[in-house]
Structure 1
Amino acid sequence: MNDFTYQNKTKIVFGKNSENQLPQLIKKYGSKILLVYGGESIKEIGLYDKVTAMLNENQIEYFELSGIVPNPRLRKVYEGIDICRQQNIEFILAVGGGSVIDTAKAVALGFSYEGDVWDFFENRNEPEACLPVGVVLTIPAAGSESSENLVITKEDGLLKRGYGSEKLRPQFAIMNPETTYSLPFYQTACGISDMLAHIMERYFTKTEHVDVSDRLCEGLMRAIISNAKLVKQDPENYDARAEIMWAGTLAHSGLIGMGREEDWGSHAIEHELSAIYDIAHGAGLSIIFPAWMKHVYRENEERFVQFAQRVMNVELPNSMVYETIMEGISRLECFYTSLGLPTRLSAVGIDSSHLEEMAKKANSCGNFKKLDASDIYKIYKLALD
């Protein structure tokens, strides 16, 4: 196990009617806020009216940045920064899922920075200060509600890039599983794929003697898989929704990666895919991750056997190493398929036109196996049909 330091400042407020605590949480940071959200979904479930009514009743002035879309765009970040500067905003409240939260974080990042906020995504600078951010989570997926990370797409050049800093962890995250009841199942499934990928990016490591975090990862993956089936059967199963919501937070809070080298090759490969084709991130990951596994498993066959046996319940003789690994990957693909997720690029209408371009843009990523453009191209090819 590697040495590590872990601290997560995000206060989690979890459960039914947890959003009622919002005013008292915000008032610690100011009374003039930017409210960031996506489209009509939070209005359709009554959450927008409930939140704005509480803000008005508690004399919290708010300005809005709406219309945030999946694979959030840099232009919206610029728009939010302008509003914050013009209105002397003191706090940013994100009501939504990962795209909304990441946009709020990027606005917070750029608020007091004199240069272009994109500088951070190009690793040209480090933030000295950020506006505080709070979250009302409505889509369990990205784990951005308590993580230090965010991902933004720059329209010019179709560049999808991530950035991380401890300064970007939200001050609080309100999490009421009831707000997820109305999510279309495909959106729920994409979120499940995303959180599984966050776990697997940490699970597939060459770091030795990490049994505690191995078991945490395995337990989370098994819990997600079993509760996904329950939610598919009954979208208003509170207990199953709660399990998935909490698992999504734990998957990307940083805790399960402590003491071990993480990979993140699959995410880098998928980012190029969704940057060009604008497919759902979770759908891209359900395509890319199995292909990545098939390409890299020889780097550490023992770990892939462990995954197959402990997570996917593969029971084959110990001598059948290759068969065990392939069966584990096959069962993962079958799980994705059972949720209505794609496992091949052809299933979402993507051909080989941009494979070389994407491979070059994602060049040099991953730690489990260092991937160059040639490796990445082979992974895209494995994912094609």
Structure 2
Amino acid sequence: MTTQNTESRMTAIVCHAPEDYRVEQVTKPRAGRNELVIRIAACGICASDCKCYTGAKMFWGGSSPWVKAPVIPGHEFFGYVEEAGEGAAEHFGVQVGDRVIAEQIVPCGKCRYCKSGQYWMCEVHNIFGFQREVADGGMAEYMRIPPTALVHKIPLGVSLEDAAIIEPLSCAIHTVNRGDVQLDDVVVIAGAGPLGLMMTQVAHLKTPKKLVVIDLIDERLELAKQYGADVVINPTKDNALDVIKSLTDGYGCDVYIETTGAPIGVTQGLDLIRKLGRFVEFSVFGADATVDWSIIGDRKELDVRGAHLGPYCYPIAIDLLARGLVTSKGIVTHGFSLEEWDEAIKVANSTDSIKVLLKPAGEH
């Protein structure tokens, strides 16, 4: 089924350069064969969006920068199918009007990783909102979903705020799974931002022996307690190493999940983790982390694991939200229109917020 749209222009945030993001009127996308156009209900502002906005070098520097401006940013989006191009309804298994989300990566389907099922490590690595070779992102009224995108339907019972955190929740699930949490583990999550708080909820569902959350903001630590943390640590007030040793007979934690985005989170983790422990690195950093690398091998023989995106976790995230086992309540703190972009990015890039949403359709 294909619907016809009479409007040809839409409002969007367009990234031109660091700190040069503009509210513009741009051409509304149309759906080609096996493509969708969705009307955006909400799009979250991610920590990586904030780092991109301020010009962090991993996004703009080097021979292969992530950001290829001009581009409409935004990868934490969901919306309603507005238009289905020829064959798209069958291709994606959706109909016009369905609430849907597409995974943040658009796999090429041809590289060795895609062919082996490891699509989240696609060599081409097109991600919505960073380069428009495949498609622009979700900080707009509408966006195009290309044929190779991975699309999932969202039940109507899931609230707007919950639906808006499906992408980061999927990342949180993948990260916790990478930690291989066992029932007798002491698990430390460093960082109680949006991802850390979602990881706390997911890790709590794994029922480890002790779940510890570390952050500098007491209000976020209180939220972590509500989400299932047994112990919270504010390093400005507590000696994290002493606390962790007191919980582990002096050995250190079994699993350390780094999601602070600050280099100190790495060095802290190498101190807190026990020998033969599992160190899971999720963060995108704005500066280099310098550590004594010999700790990993010669002194502790650590199992260091990266966690990237949320592969195979979107259906799990949707199910957990639908069953009320994970919530956005307390995490989603602010909502803005596209026209309020300047204020939205300012709030998102501060400790006054946890998760900020752009709501192009003005939905609540």
TM-score by length of 2: 0.23
Select the structure with the greater relative contact order (CA < 8 A; seq sep ≥ 6).
2
TM-score scaled by length of structure 1: 0.22
Which of the pair is proportionally richer in strand? 2
